[in-house]
Homo-oligomer: A and B are copies of this chain.
Amino acid sequence: MRVDVLAVGTELLLGQIVNTNAAQIGERLAAAGLDHYHQEVVGDNERRIAEAIRRSVARSEALIITGGIGPTKDDLTREALCGAAGVEMGFDDEFASSLREYWESRGREMPESNLKQAQVPAGAEMIENPKGTAPGLKMRVSGAWVVVLPGVPAEMIPMLERDVIPFLQGEAGADTGVVVSRMLRTWGESESKVGETLGDLFDAARNPTLAFLASAGEIKIRITARGASKEEAVALIAPLEEEVRRRLGPLVFGADDETIEAVVLGLLRERRWTLGNAESMTGGLVGAKITNVPGASDVYRGAIVAYDAAEKEALLGVSHELIEEHGVVSEEVAKAMAVGAADRLDVDVAVAVTGAAGPTAHDGRPAGTTVVAVLTPEALMARTLQLPGDRERVRLFAATGALHLTRMALQGVSWGT
């Protein structure tokens, strides 16, 4: 089944936002074994949206549209869909009532313009939006399926994963088979090195196939198999997964949706150890990542963000003599921050991050220099990393790096990799 993707929004054409939705959808279509050859972007113009829909349904079996279904007057995808399909606009009274109830439950009066979201082209079905109020739409146009999703990625992606991809896979039918993907997640080596280690497997792979994906310092290895049934596809993946894991050893920290923060919390929970942290360059990002995991509170106690050097002494007991001798971006200071955090927060395991986020050098250390220290009941370790990229990227890599080094410390994996 060929699936096209169309993004609607003048802000995309003006370059005010980047079309990440197309990449998110493309990645999931590929994983689902659905063919995808065309992406388009048009602005908030009813005629051009309708023309783009007609172009797609003429060449492909399905089209996923993102954007243009909000409550304001420049949201025109519903109208264009009516135009392309040659149908009238309907209205869903039941959904309109549920919208009113939603606003009332939040103690606010609903602006009438929200009722635009209850408009449904004749013959279209609504797709539930668990993260927002604008429902998606699904309808048949000239023999092809047209699916409309919100432009906001946080709303679009869950609807895509939960409803749209399984639906299109079902429509694609028996010739597609079932495609199952397994993602192994690694940290600590470059993409080229991981690629070389698995090079012969990559060349030999037909079904399952291997793919590499680098994102935010992680290298992911995706194993994708197509089988007549899910069981068959899973069975095809197993031996290749085993071989990949054997070669990569402790570089692999998790699979599929397991984030490093969930892995770290799991390891600590097993041992009944509590966790706290001290931060400087990351300003709270390590704690923010950890606490994004539901149920973190049974392990995680809190953090001290000592952004200013004087706060490192006041809040963490890091002496200014130590800071003067070694500099704030040093393994000595990072270790003292971890020890101070463990003491003040009364936790078993403490992780500390200090560094130069950029854009300029900090305390004589070039931008990107990051020091992580981990204190456990068994050891106190520190490591210096040189991280690439701009300030935002360095901070993100520093926060994830701190979590990865915590994982390695807890599992007794060498930090020298």
- A residues sitting closer than 8 Å to B (CB atoms) are 10-20, 22-28, 30, 36-45, 48, 70-74, 106-108, 110-114, 130-132, 152, 154, 181, 183, 190-193, 195-196, 199, 202-203, 211-215, 222, 224, 279, 281-288, 290-292, 294, 296-297, 300-308, 310-311, 314-315, 344-346, 357-360, 386, 388-393, 395
Contacts and interface: CB of A to CB of B under 8 A. Distances in A.
Contact of A26 (B15, B202, B214): B15
Contacts of A22: 12, 15, 18-19, 41
A305 to B, nearest CB: 4
Classify the interface of chain A: helix, strand, loop or mixed: mixed
Contacts of A291: 281-284, 307, 357, 395
A330 B222 CA distance: 46
Contacts of A39: 12-13, 19, 40-42
A30 B304 CA distance: 44
Nearest to A312: B302
Nearest to A358: B294
28 contacts: A12-B26, A14-B27, A14-B36, A15-B25, A16-B213, A19-B22, A19-B39, A37-B48, A71-B191, A71-B192, A73-B203, A74-B212, A106-B388, A111-B193, A130-B390, A154-B389, A282-B291, A283-B287, A301-B308, A301-B310, A302-B305, A302-B311, A302-B315, A304-B304, A304-B305, A304-B315, A305-B305, A311-B345
Contact of A16 (B25, B27, B41, B308): B27
Contacts of A279: 284, 287
A222 B48 contact: no
A19 to B, nearest CB: 6
Nearest to A212: B72
A394 to B, nearest CB: 11
A264 B22 CA distance: 34
Contacts of A281: 291
Given A48-B37, A285-B284, A301-B308, A18 B15 contact: no
Most chain B CB neighbours (cut-off 10 Å) among A39, A305, A386: A305
A119 to B, nearest CB: 14
A264 B182 CA distance: 44
Contacts of A36: 13-14
A306 to B, nearest CB: 5
A37 B9 CA distance: 10
Given A13-B36, A114-B192, A301-B307, 20 more contacts: A11-B222, A12-B22, A14-B30, A16-B23, A37-B48, A38-B40, A71-B195, A72-B192, A72-B212, A113-B199, A152-B215, A283-B284, A284-B285, A285-B288, A292-B395, A300-B308, A301-B311, A302-B305, A314-B345, A314-B346
Nearest to A11: B213
Contact of A23 (B15, B113, B114, B301): B15
B45 A37 contact: yes
Contacts of A388: 106, 132
A315 B112 CA distance: 47
Contact of A196 (B43, B111, B196): B111
Contacts of A302: 304-308, 311, 315
Nearest to A310: B301
A297 to B, nearest CB: 6
Question: Top 10 A-B pairs ranked by shortest CB distance?
Answer: A284-B284, A283-B291, A15-B27, A284-B287, A15-B26, A303-B305, A39-B41, A111-B192, A15-B23, A72-B195
Nearest to A36: B13
B181 A14 contact: yes
A13 to B, nearest CB: 5
